[in-house]
Amino acid sequence: MTAVSLGMPRVRPAVPSGTPDDLDPARPATDALVDRYGRVARDLRISITEKCSLRCTYCMPAEGLPAIPREDLLTPDEIGRVVRVAVERLGITDVRFTGGEPLLRNDLADILRAARAAAPDVSLSLTTNAIGLDKRVRGLVDAGLDRVNISLDSVDRAHFARLTRRDRLPDVLAGIRAALDAGLAPVKLNAVLMPETLAGAADLLAWAVEHGCHLRFIEQMPLDADGRWTRDDLVSATDLLAVLGTRFDLHEVGRDDPSAPAEEWLVDGGPQTVGVIASVTRSFCGACDRTRLTAEGTVRSCLFGDDETDLRAILRSAELAEDERDDALARAWQGAMWRKPLAHGSDAPTLAADAFAATPRGRGAVGGGGSHRPPSRGRCAVRPSRASPRIRLVAPDASSTDSTS
């Protein structure tokens, strides 16, 4: 394996409760979530659980992830407050709830209601595997849900069971039908590209076109919990398009929004399109507009960064007056996003597009909770929970994602 040492990450000292880190004097005087490279975050992803009803091989180990204690998860009221500050103070225009599997939160409707009350005019969406969605979709729509993204890597039942370690394809398809019936258009389907899914990609696209869903294929990034990702096994966007092109007439239409991750291709003259998110071979970090909140209430500016800022301590601090709390949340968040790395967890200007700073959190974790690392207690702006490890970059020819030494 070839690795590039990035040295020691900065471990930010704890500060007195209720007093966020001072903002960098170089930061522009703006409320927006700007970073050092001129990007502005407008898209908020909030994980609400680490639990999942599937065990996808590219996401979770077979035994699942360590449980986060219930009291460490943000409550619906706390999530509502965070959403209000994000929208009213920081310029967020889209909010998406993720996991884990968000449908495993029994209070998901309460979370949506709190977010809708906090931000009446902002789009609220959900990333889900759709298991159980058919039983809850009406209540979620009534609570404020606007759109769904549904993970679906195969429409072959046996293949689906091998990929997810669960025989639940009929439940997923029932959830998709329910979302369509509830008017959650467009229903987007996300499929991760892997060697074992490439042969079925055309069948999956045909199914999506037939059922009026918008399918997006995503290059697999090294976020697998088992750490087995290698560049040599990558199925690229080019590989996918070659396979789809044997069955469909594809015409490139590109991106409507430079910050949108998917490049769109018209299928057989349209109107249906297929999206390709080339997150490894055609990195879009330069236009990234996302900010993430983990299930434990920490801001994570980059999927592959190892820098997290604790908002939960601010939400729960007894030392803050209510009129101070929103200011403290906004300031801590602004500081976290200002430090966002250039690309894939690194500030190295010559970093290869398909090299990544290794992260201790797997895919299920980066969406939110994941490997349980509780933030420091009683502090309002805290840093990494591990003691000063060395971060290593997995280079394109690496055969392992082992990340620390």
Map out the domains of the chain as residue ranges. Answer: 3-394
For residue 223, what pLDDT band results from cuts at 50, 70 and 90? low
Whether the per-residue pLDDT at 232 is higher than 70: the answer is: no
Structure confidence by residue, pLDDT tens digits, 267-322: 999 999 999 988 777 777 888 999 999 999 999 998 777 789 999 999 999 999 98
Longest CA–CA span in the chain (Å) reads 64
Q: At what angle do helices 108-118 and 133-143 cross, to 10 degrees?
A: 20
Question: How many angstroms separate the CA atoms of 141 and 131, rounded?
Answer: 16
For the chain, the straight-line distance linking the first and the last C-alpha, in angstroms and rounded, comes to: 13
Which of 322, 323, 339, 333 shows the shortest CA–CA distance to 380?
333
Q: Work out the angle at residue 61's Cα, subtended by the Cα atoms of residues 58 and 64, and round it to the nearest 5 degrees.
A: 120
SS3 for 353? coil
State residue 220's pLDDT score.
83
Helix, strand, coil shares of the chain, percent, nearest 5, are 30, 20, 55
Q: How far is CA 93 from CA 30, 83, 290, 387, in A?
A: 16, 10, 11, 35
State residue 40's pLDDT score.
97
Average pLDDT over residues 104-124: 98
- Residue 152 backbone dihedrals phi, psi, to 5 degrees: -155, 110
Per the confidence metrics, is the pTM higher than 0.75? yes
SS3 for 40? strand
State residue 399's pLDDT score.
25
**Residue 161 carries which side chain, given as an amino acid letter?**
A
Q: Where do the DSSP E strands lie in 17-161?
A: 33-34, 40-41, 43-47, 94-98, 123-128, 147-151
What is the Cα 15 distance to its own chain's centre?
28
Residue with the larger pLDDT of the pair 117 and 323: 117
Q: How far is CA 222 from CA 56, 200, 229, 348, in A?
A: 14, 22, 5, 18
Question: In the predicted model, what is the mean pLDDT of the chain?
Answer: 81
H-type alpha helices, 67-131? 76-88, 108-118
Which of 53, 87, 334 shows the shortest CA–CA distance to 172?
53
Question: How many angstroms separate the CA atoms of 303 and 278, rounded?
Answer: 15
190-203 b/e with 16+ CB inside 10 Å = b? Answer: bbbbbeebbebbbe
Tokens of 183: 């008017």
For residue 350, what pLDDT band results from cuts at 50, 70 and 90? low
Structure confidence by residue, pLDDT tens digits, 328-349: 999 999 999 999 998 877 787 7
State residue 251's pLDDT score.
96
Question: Token match 């042969």: residue?
Answer: 199
Whether the per-residue pLDDT at 140 is higher than 90: the answer is: yes
- Residue 202 backbone dihedrals phi, psi, to 5 degrees: -65, -40
Query: By CB neighbour count within 10 A (0-12 exposed, 13-18 middle, 19+ buried), where does 221 fall?
Result: buried
SS3 for 363? helix
Question: Token match 């959900």: residue?
Answer: 126
What is the Cα 292 distance to its own chain's centre?
7
State residue 65's pLDDT score.
82
Structure letter (DSSP) for residue 18:
T
Structure confidence by residue, pLDDT tens digits, 42-60: 999 999 999 999 999 888 8
**1.10.8.420, 3.40.50.620, 3.40.50.2300, 3.20.20.70: CATH of 3-394:** 3.20.20.70
Question: Token match 């430090």: residue?
Answer: 339
Question: How many angstroms separate the CA atoms of 210 and 221, rounded?
Answer: 29
